[in-house]
Amino acid sequence: MQKKYSVLMSVYYKENPEWLKISVNSMLNQTIKPDEFVLVEDGPLTKELDEVIEQFIKKNKNLFNIIKIEKNGGLGPALKFGITKCKNEYIARMDSDDYSIPTRIEKQFEIFEKYPELGLVGSNVEEFEDNIKNINCHVLLPEFQNDIYNFSKKRCPFRHPSLLYKKSAVLKAGNYRKFYLCEDYDLYVRMLSSECKCYNIQEPLVYMRVGSEFYKRRGGWKYMNTILKFKNEQLKTRYFSVSDYLKSTIPHIIVCLMPNKLRDYIYRNMLRKKVRGENIGK
């Protein structure tokens, strides 16, 4: 198979320039190099971020496609626009503060070669704080289609920056939508509903940066209202049964409304596989 792919990343003014360097370099250093890097600037950036991006453009002529959006509109709209600008059928998602191991794309293409009917391939991930060697949690996700589908009735079945998907599969599902902190989960449900075949590689290919702010954003009234809107929609479309809805929504509301320290504990110790006495960073 032809192994050409685009990297799709969105950046906005609050990003850390040094973290952006690490993230972009991890994709440029893949054993299978990207054919295109679509970088969506979601509103005006800082001088420091502009300088980092300009350096990458100078060193990698004809690789970067910079998409500038005048006003920050959020991740969903930025990726929705960015998808349409990707020239390749295969698109690798990546966030601007995470790290992909060098063989990530190679391993994902191996799965696509083995199962060409797939529309999306993700992986397990490692969550780290501050330094990539400081791993807090392993995120273990369901591997096969039926398990992924059943898991999606309770929790998000993929990690966004680990995905290599087909552009046609994303567009068939209706592309991204604006859904505060649920842009990815919302897309996955619609992809699964459109009979997109999916797979999660059972090893960590991406290291995700997770600090206290990560869990803080997953609490409060704003996030809870978004979750309710999302899950009410799944009930309305019958993706969720009434039982699915209650089992998923009630615990989620409780976690949203609890103090941040307690929510941090729940995520790290009950919703993740905690790393104990290990140092496996690379």
Angstrom CA distances, 33 to 6, 85, 112, 160, 188, stand at: 10, 19, 17, 20, 26
Residue 282 within a domain? no
Residue 114 within a domain? yes
Q: What CATH number has the domain bearing residue 90?
A: 3.90.550.10
Residue 9 within a domain? yes
User: What number of other Cβ atoms are within 10 A of residue 279's Cβ?
Assistant: 8
Q: Which residues contact 42 (CB under 8 A, 6 or more apart)?
A: 10, 11, 12, 69, 72, 73, 74, 75, 78
pLDDT of 69 reads: 97
pLDDT of 273 reads: 57
Residue 208 within a domain? yes
pLDDT of 281 reads: 32
Residue 14 within a domain? yes
What is the domain range of residue 235?
Answer: 5-274
pLDDT of 282 reads: 30
Residue 160 within a domain? yes
Q: Which of 23, 28, 16, 13 lies closest to 68 in space, CA to CA?
A: 13
Single-letter residue type at 192: L
Torsion angle in degrees (nearest 10) through CA of 23, 189, 42, 209? -30
Residue 30 within a domain? yes
Q: How many domains does the chain have?
A: 1
pLDDT of 180 reads: 86
pLDDT of 280 reads: 30
Q: What is the pLDDT along the chain (282 residues), one digit of tens a residue?
A: 779 999 999 999 999 999 999 999 999 999 999 999 999 999 999 999 999 999 999 999 899 999 999 999 999 999 999 999 999 999 999 999 999 999 999 999 999 999 999 999 999 999 998 888 889 889 999 999 999 999 999 999 999 999 999 999 999 999 999 988 899 999 999 999 999 999 999 999 999 998 666 666 667 778 888 999 999 999 999 999 999 999 999 988 888 888 777 766 666 665 655 544 333 333
Residue 281 within a domain? no
Angstrom CA distances, 16 to 107, 122, 153, 222, stand at: 28, 25, 34, 25
- Radius of gyration of the CA atoms of the chain, in A: 18
pLDDT of 184 reads: 96
